[in-house]
Structure formats: C-alpha cells, structure tokens
C-alpha cells in the first residue's frame, strides 16, 4: 500500500508568492477568517479602513499585493501593511479615557486642531496602538472607551448589539418630563429615525436643566439633535457610561485600563 500523502499544513507549507492570493481566497469555510477581520483584531484599523487600505494596494502577503478583502487566512504570517510586518493579535484590552471638550476623536486633523491621539501621546506615551469605541464630537466630553482589538470595537458599536450609552446634558429652555418620556418610542427628525431613548429631567435651575439620556444606537450627534428638536440649547454634554463601564472616578484627560476579568465578563454578554 502506498504511503498516505500528508495533509497540507497552512502554517508550515508556504505557497509561492505567485500562488498566495489564490490559495488564500479559495480556502474552505471554517479554515480561517477574512483578512480585514484578522487585521482589525490585530488593531491595525477598523474593517472598513482596512478594506480601503487593500483597495489602495497597501496590504501584501509575502511581497504580493492583496487585491481583495475577501482573502481568507489562517494567520497573519507574511502579511505587511505599508511594508511593515503585522504581528499576530495581542489579547483584547479595553481602556477608559476621560475625553475633555475640545479634542477631536480622530487620528489627525489637517487644520491643526488637537486630537485624542495628540493628548494620549503625552499622558500615556508607552500605550499600544488603540482605537476609540464610537466617537465623541469636538465639544462633547466624558467617557471614551479605547481598545486594541478592532473586532471588539465593532461588536460594541453595532446597534444590533444594543450596548447602552448614557449622557448628561445641560440644556437651556423649557421641556416637560412627559416630552422626555415620549422619546422611549423613538423619534424621526428630518427623515432620520432615532430609536428609543430613556430620558429624565434630573434637575432644573431657572431655564437651565440637566437631562440624563440612555440610548443604544449612538447616531452622529444624536443627543444634541434630539434635544434641539425639543427646543433646547445644549451647553454641555458628558458621556457618563458605555455598557457597564463608568466615567466615575476618572479625572479629565486621564486613561486607565479596564480589568481583564471585567472585560471578559462583559464580552461574554455580547455573544
């Protein structure tokens, strides 16, 4: 009986560079993951940004440019981005950052405004590459979660996951508790549908009041737009909670890491 042919080991048998894209893109289901997902997990960028990198010819395998984000891989061996080797994903980590007002949630700003990364480079120069979970606009302050894992970022941002975010808004104008309670049914503003919002008037001093709002979608400028639609002018907006993680106890501009046990416990609720 002739000897049995050994099974192909994708970690040890290296196809030639010319074969690399075809081998990667025709892997059977269950034998790997799409390259965009793997690179996101490695903290390179979000899936969408990685797809743009691939379109721009910035990602290669064993020196051969990868042309499709549908490429399936079992590891990141031989993968480079802009000519630099990509390391295998580190364990997922999560940090709390107390974003002050006046910082952009962006990697860079061509007009010279300060970004969260400019600030973090000063307060945490040894921190690894990290990405924000969701965004806070320029004048919004409070809890901004940061992670080194693009897949965790995606899970936490998806509306379907239903992770709650809580904000406190100081607003000028008149609004009733009944009007705020009606937001639990959702609201449509200029053709945009906003899902249910749990809103309560905390206190009022004259025509200024503090309103607490909890929502799960986090559309662009959602809190401000909803309150402006009710005739209020927002003068301060603070995110105080994202999922089970609280702003409480974190000074403005400070960064700290979420305990691994707390992260694992939370991540299990997302499945």
126 included as an active-site residue = no
* Distance (Å, whole) CA 139 – CA 99: 10
Choosing from 13, 62, 82, 137, the catalytic residue is 137
What DSSP letter does each residue of 193-257 carry, written as one string? EE---EEEEEEEETTEEEEEEEES---TTHHHHHHHHTT-EEEEEEEEEETTEE-TT--TT-EEE
Q: DSSP 3-state assignment of 30?
A: coil
Element (H, E) at 263: helix 260-269
DSSP 133: S
Give the separation between CA 33 and CA 266, rounded to whole angstroms. 24
Would you call 25 exposed, middle or buried from its count of C-beta atoms within 10 A (0-12, 13-18, 19+)?
A: middle
H runs (alpha helix) in 66-141: 116-123
* CB proximity list for 32: less than 8 A, separation 6 or greater: 10, 24, 72, 73, 74
**Catalytic site positions:** 137
């Amino acid at each position: 009986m002739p000897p049995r042919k050994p099974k192909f080991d994708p970690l040890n048998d290296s196809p030639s560079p010319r074969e690399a894209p075809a081998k990667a893109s025709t892997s059977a289901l269950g034998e790997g993951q799409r390259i965009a997902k793997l690179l996101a997990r490695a903290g390179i960028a979000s899936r969408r940004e990685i797809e743009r990198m691939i379109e721009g010819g910035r990602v290669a395998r064993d020196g051969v440019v990868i042309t499709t984000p549908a490429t399936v891989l079992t590891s990141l061996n031989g993968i480079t981005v802009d000519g630099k080797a990509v390391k295998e994903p580190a364990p997922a980590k999560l940090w709390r950052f107390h974003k002050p007002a006046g910082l952009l949630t962006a990697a860079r700003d061509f007009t010279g405004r300060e970004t969260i990364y400019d600030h973090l480079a000063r307060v945490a120069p040894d921190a690894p590459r990290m990405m924000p979970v969701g965004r806070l606009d320029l004048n919004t302050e409070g809890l901004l979660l940061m992670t080194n894992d693009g897949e965790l970022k995606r899970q936490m941002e998806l509306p379907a996951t239903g992770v709650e975010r809580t904000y406190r808004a100081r607003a000028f104008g008149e609004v009733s508790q009944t009007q705020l309670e009606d937001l639990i049914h959702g609201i449509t503003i200029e053709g945009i549908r906003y899902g249910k919002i749990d809103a309560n008037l905390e206190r009022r001093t004259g025509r200024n009041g503090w309103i607490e709002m909890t929502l799960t979608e986090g559309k662009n400028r959602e809190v401000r737009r909803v309150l402006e639609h009710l005739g209020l002018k927002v003068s301060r907006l603070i995110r105080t909670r994202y999922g089970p993680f609280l702003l409480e106890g974190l000074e403005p501009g400070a960064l700290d890491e979420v305990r691994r046990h707390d992260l694992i416990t939370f991540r299990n609720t997302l499945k």
